[in-house]
Chain A
Amino acid sequence: MMIVHVLSGQISLNFSDIVSAFNTYDATNTNHIIFFEFRIPRMTMSILSGSALAVSGMLMQTLFNNPLAGPYVLGINSGASLIVALTLLTGIPFFTSDFGLISGALFGALLFGSIILFFSFYIRSHISLLLIGLMISSFVGAIITTLESMSAAEQLKSFTFWSFGSLQQTTLNQLPLIITGCFIGFLGSLLLSKPLNAMVLGETSAKSLGIHIRSFRIWIIAITALLTGTITAFCGPIAFVGLAIPNLTRMIFQTQNHQYLLLGNLLIGGIFMLTCDTIIQLVEPYFVLPINAFTSLIGAPFVVYIVLKKLI
């Protein structure tokens, strides 16, 4: 899949280009530049974004014991988007740097994750919590719309294009930072896999197994914020991956063991985004298909399917 993705695009590359790029990289050779500076970051971001959002969704669904939970539904994605909107639409210089953008998106994700966590302490009904998440998303959406209406055309254009989502903005130099952020998130999720397994049995059972629920929740929110914030900062909002992939993984793997689920989400999330982006690359010469729209086109019917399956 990775090879198919790397070889797809408006400019055709062949194996000899890739081999020569590895052996003798020439900074003036266009094909070498395309391979290293365009295709490799794009492919890496496809895998990382799919995996990170799927793992975030898995963590949220276990924490709230609800298959319809996810960073997008619970407003964590919207929190990251709000801070990015504030930076892009108000033009505060600090946030326009890589570090500023990622820290802003992280802060937004963490802030809104904490808000939903705060509500989860007092509200037992999962439906009510999801509704609160949706209301937070709507509230943030209203603030963003207000900011948009006050913005200059150029800033509005930048934010609109950012909201389409993109796997192509990242450069080779930025990859180490993103890989580090995602790796910490994945490692943290792996370390939390046992408490996550216990949480499937319910909070009371988890407590009796010695899990400190409050600190466990804080860690889950922190890891979700790190993964979602990192991806949102560099790729923009990507909808439905965090909601649909964990459900798909559970359907395929037929297990509640989070060690397997984590690996499954990493794998299926990565493959899903690689497939989506390969399709986008193939249709590029004919029409523009934003990644955020494409994942929603596939994800929304899948979520409807899950809901219907549960009702039937």
Chain B
Amino acid sequence: MIIYFSDIVTRMNKVFYLFLFLFIATACSEKVQVPLITKKTTKYARFLSIRDEKNGIYIDIKHPDRKNKEYKFFIKKNSNGKVPDDYIEIQRNNPSFIVFSTTHIAMLGQLNQLKTIKGTCASNLIYTKEIKKNIEDKAIVDFGNESNPSLEKIISIKPTAIIYSGFSAEFSKNKELQKLGIITIPNFDWKESHPLGKAEWILFFGYLTGTEEAAKKHLEIVKEEYNRLKKSVQGLSNCPVVLSGSKMGDFWYAPAGESYMAQLFKDAGANYIYKNTKGTGSLAYSQEKILVDAKKADFWINPGSPSYELVKMSNPKASFLVPFREKKVFCYTKDSNKYWELSAIHPEWVMADLIAIFHPIELKKSNLNFYHTLD
């Protein structure tokens, strides 16, 4: 095959015109670039990033288990502003939400924004009296559970956004809701491994409702108290050995060494038996291994039952564990709803409880916020 020079020139001309066209097309489009200068408001949260910029607020939520999956939301600061590419706009004029976790209720409650909640789920797990009463009065819709909410009920509410826990990748009715213009936002506060990272999700609700200053103020107080408590037990020679978790089926599920509970134990001056293990989830061990590893355990935290009798009923072999025999087992089960709802926004309360349990000289056990010794 013979290629003539004139052919090459003609082809090069075509390529040139193609590049020229693309350049003009790109230059003429009104794309809004995400600012390079960032003012990140979160420090401990791994899955939430909020940047308060001049043109608006950028909310980036990372999926904990899917590396490349990100959810991007934008709140305009002025009505003429443009929404950046890949971002979904959230309107915050007169916002209303359907929230699918009690931690969301607590965060909105802390910001005096309970009035924005129009729907929720699992009413038997809610601690806040106002929400319970509103569900009874039918002012708030109870959707039962997150996995299969009624689409018709959602449409009748027409919320600004649905905030869900993100147990699965997408909200179950996501496609239908997108067509109707209802935004779904995953909330991965429950996946945060640092107690203060979990608490930082209040900023997300703050920005959604325009109460970011109140959220920042709350967070400042929480961080200050948490770090003060942490400092108070640093350097203590007596670090009690702690066992945590409970048996389900044939295995004992204990928090891994980089998990939320392991961080709390570390900060509360305890020597958690699986502190050196990897991972932020749970470890599954045989009960024989637990018996050997917890041979020197002083305390057992979170057996999941409110009394020794119930622990023994669900796991008869628990009686061989030293903390069980010595009656040094603590749990939050006196009011589990209170713990699950409030512990995320008040990690300093959880911390205070644990310090009171592990180091009774530093704090008195009589005023525990969530925990209690089993009955």
- A complexed with B: yes
Which A positions have Cβ atoms within 8 angstroms of B? 9-11, 30, 33-34, 37-38, 96, 152, 154, 157-158, 161-162, 164, 166, 168-169, 171, 174, 284, 288, 290
Spell out B's residues near A (CB within 8 Å). 124, 248-251, 284-289, 291-292, 295, 304, 313-314, 316-317, 320
Query: Closest Cβ of chain A: how far from B25's Cβ, in Å?
Result: 54
Least CB distance, A177 to chain B, in whole angstroms: 13
Contact of A30 among B124, B291, B313 (CB under 8 A): B291
Closest approach, in angstroms, between the C-beta of B290 and any C-beta of chain A? 9
Contact of B250 among A30, A168, A174 (CB under 8 A): A168
The CA of A37 and the CA of B287, in the complex, are separated in Å by: 11
Please classify the interface of chain B as helix (H, G, I), strand (E, B), loop, or mixed, using the class held by over half of its residues: helix
- B residues near A169, Cβ cutoff 8 Å: 316
> Shortest beta-carbon distance, A167 to chain B, in Å?
8
Are A161 and B249 touching (Cβ within 8 A)?
Answer: yes
A284 to B289, CA, bound (A): 11
Q: Can you name 13 A-B pairs with beta carbons within 8 Å?
A: A9-B286, A10-B286, A10-B288, A30-B292, A34-B291, A38-B287, A152-B124, A154-B304, A166-B249, A168-B287, A288-B284, A290-B249, A290-B250
**Does the CB pair B286–A157 fall under 8 Å?**
no
Partner of A10, one of B248, B285, B304, B313: B285
Say yes or no: A11 contacts B124, CB within 8 Å: no
Of the candidates A10, A164, A166, the one whose C-beta lies within 8 Å of that of B289 is A10
Known: A10-B286, A166-B250. A37 touches B313 (CB 8 A): no
Which chain B residues lie closer than 8 Å to A9 at the CB level?
Answer: 286, 288
On whether A11 and B249 interact (CB within 8 A), knowing A171-B316, A171-B317, the answer reads no
Q: What is the bound-complex CA distance between A158 and B315, given in angstroms? A: 11
On chain B, the residues within 8 Å of A11 by CB distance are 286, 288-289, 291-292
Q: How far is the CB of B321 from chain A (nearest CB, A)?
A: 10
The answer to whether residues A34 and B288 also contact, given A152-B124, A164-B249 and a CB cut-off of 8 A, is yes
B292 to chain A, nearest CB (A): 5
In whole Å, how far is A159's beta carbon from the nearest beta carbon of chain B? 11
Q: Taking A11-B292, A158-B314 as given, write out 13 further A-B residue pairs in contact, using a Cβ cutoff of 8 Å, ordered by the A residue number.
A: A10-B289, A11-B288, A30-B295, A34-B291, A34-B292, A37-B320, A38-B288, A161-B248, A168-B250, A168-B287, A171-B316, A284-B286, A288-B284
Residues of A within 8 A of B287 (CB): 38, 168
In the complex, the chain B residue whose C-beta lies closest to that of A97 is: B313
Interchain CA distance A154-B292 in the complex, whole Å? 28
Rounded to whole angstroms, the CA-CA distance of A171 and B124 in the bound complex is 35
**CA gap between A202 and B100 in the complex, in Å:** 62
Which residue of A has the minimal Cβ distance to B322?
Answer: A28
CB contacts (< 8 Å) of B314 on chain A: these are 158
Q: Which residue of A lies closest to B310 (CB)?
A: A96
Please name all residues of chain B whose beta carbon is closer than 8 Å to the beta carbon of A157 when the two chains form the complex. 248
Give the shortest distance, in Å, between B148 (CB) and chain A (any CB). Answer: 10
On whether A33 and B286 interact (CB within 8 A), knowing A171-B316, A288-B250, the answer reads: no
In the assembled complex, the Cα of A54 lies from the Cα of B320 at a distance in Å of 34
Min CB gap B297→A, angstroms: 12
Assess the A288–B289 pair: CB atoms within 8 A: no
Kindly list chain A residues whose C-beta atoms are within 8 Å of the C-beta of B284.
288
Chain A: which residue is nearest B124 at the CB level? A152
- Contact partner of A38 (CB less than 8 A), chosen from B124, B251, B317, is B317
**With a CB–CB cut-off of 8 A, which chain A residues contact B289?**
10-11
Chain B residue numbers with a CB within 8 Å of A30 are 291-292, 295
